[in-house]
């Protein structure tokens, strides 16, 4: 009986030890697995971070490449090409640039990116063009599938309107930051039966899109504001003037919220001729009067524009 008790105790002890050993083994297995899990999660997090950075970097390119694609169309206009559908052409140009980027990113980061430009449109601000791009990207366990909406600034690009309407090599030119119409604008206005078109002999207008800082515009009548605006060649927001994309398509007016600038006359001519705001010269063609009849450099403006700029 005694022996069997010991045996029983011994069995109990052996049993407990075995349970303990199994428990320790299980704990060790669990701990090792946990460490592995944490390590692989860390690797995943690092990979995820890395992937996110690549996508953010790619995203920033869209704005820059969008602007370059618009600029490439403006260059075409200045080289004498006619752009019939600027949105379609800019879209094609951007798609080509993004495809190049996709190849570059594949080589650099081993990431698969597919991009499709869904639309190129005038935005609610006339200083920006809106791009919608569908991006699908995959690298290892990470993936990205989203439609990105990005705006590219058109400030600092050349104004396409004078060249799209009058055509390059037709006798206009530019130097520094000014477009010189020489005899070309006179001939254009004469052709459109504008009275006293000779007043626009040797007229000039700004070459680059620059946003006028004198906002609200009604203050152009204060002190030297108008002179400074003309000297710097600023553009203004206008619901009548055409947007940048429509300027590429030789449209003086369009349904989008757009821009207008002054075409500066420098010839004595007559005081009663077409108002010198660009959408009036290139599309509407209604008359205005010189602000100062004795000064050949004085603007010729209709009452509505005089009022807008506080020059009445």
| Residue nearer to Zn ion on the CB measure, 55 or 229 | 229
* Residue 235 vs residues 142, 306, 307: alpha-carbon distances, Å: 46, 16, 17
> Which residue ranges make up the site for Zn ion (CB under 5 A)?
212, 214, 229, 234, 243, 246, 254, 256
* Shortest distance (Å) from residue 239 CB to Zn ion: 11
* Shortest distance (Å) from residue 154 CB to Zn ion: 12
| Residue nearer to Zn ion on the CB measure, 128 or 256 | 256
| Residue nearer to Zn ion on the CB measure, 246 or 274 | 246
| Residue nearer to Zn ion on the CB measure, 101 or 210 | 210
Residues in the chain: 312
Count Cβ atoms below 10 Å from residue 183 Cβ, excluding itself: 15
* Shortest distance (Å) from residue 95 CB to Zn ion: 21
234 φ, ψ (degrees, to nearest 5): -85, 155
Rounded to whole angstroms, how far apart are CA atoms 148 and 156?
24
Q: Are 148 and 170 in contact (CB under 8 A)?
A: no
* Shortest distance (Å) from residue 134 CB to Zn ion: 24
| Residue nearer to Zn ion on the CB measure, 238 or 273 | 238
* Shortest distance (Å) from residue 130 CB to Zn ion: 12
* Shortest distance (Å) from residue 146 CB to Zn ion: 28
* Shortest distance (Å) from residue 143 CB to Zn ion: 37
| Residue nearer to Zn ion on the CB measure, 190 or 257 | 257
Count Cβ atoms below 10 Å from residue 294 Cβ, excluding itself: 8
* Shortest distance (Å) from residue 83 CB to Zn ion: 13
| Residue nearer to Zn ion on the CB measure, 98 or 203 | 203
Radius of gyration of the chain measured on its C-alpha atoms? 34
Rounded to whole angstroms, how far apart are CA atoms 161 and 220?
24
For residues 55, 56, 58, 63, the Cα torsion angle rounded to the nearest 10 degrees is 140
| Residue nearer to Zn ion on the CB measure, 212 or 276 | 212
Q: Let me know if 153 is exposed, middle or buried by CB neighbors in 10 A (0-12, 13-18, 19+).
A: middle
């Amino acid at each position: 009986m005694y022996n069997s008790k010991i045996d029983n105790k011994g069995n109990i002890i052996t049993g407990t030890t075995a349970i303990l050993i199994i428990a320790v083994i299980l704990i060790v297995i669990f701990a090792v697995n946990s460490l592995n899990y944490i390590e692989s999660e860390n690797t995943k997090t690092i990979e995820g971070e890395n992937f996110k950075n690549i996508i953010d970097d790619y995203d920033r390119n869209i704005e820059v490449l969008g602007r370059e694609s618009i600029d490439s169309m403006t260059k075409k206009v200045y080289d004498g090409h006619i752009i019939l559908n600027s949105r379609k052409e800019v879209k094609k140009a951007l798609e080509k640039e993004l495809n190049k980027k996709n190849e570059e990113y594949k080589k650099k980061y081993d990431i698969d990116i597919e991009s499709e430009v869904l639309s190129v449109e005038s935005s609610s601000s006339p200083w920006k063009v809106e791009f919608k791009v569908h991006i699908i990207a995959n690298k290892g366990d990470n993936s990205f599938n989203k439609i990105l909406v990005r705006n590219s600034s058109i400030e600092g690009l050349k104004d396409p309107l004078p060249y799209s309407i009058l055509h390059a090599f037709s006798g206009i030119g530019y130097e520094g930051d000014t477009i010189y119409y020489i005899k070309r604008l006179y001939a254009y206005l004469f052709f459109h039966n504008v009275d006293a078109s000779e007043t626009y002999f040797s007229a000039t207008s700004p070459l680059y899109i620059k946003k006028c800082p004198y906002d609200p515009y009604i203050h152009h009548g204060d002190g030297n504001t108008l002179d400074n605006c003309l000297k710097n060649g600023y553009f203004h927001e206008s619901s009548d003037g055409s947007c940048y994309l429509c300027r590429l398509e030789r449209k003086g007016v369009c349904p989008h919220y757009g821009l207008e600038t002054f075409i500066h006359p420098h010839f004595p001519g007559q005081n009663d001729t077409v108002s010198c705001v660009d959408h009036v010269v290139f599309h509407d063609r209604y008359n205005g009067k010189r602000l100062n009849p004795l000064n050949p450099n004085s603007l010729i403006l209709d009452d509505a524009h005089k009022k807008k700029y506080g020059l009445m």
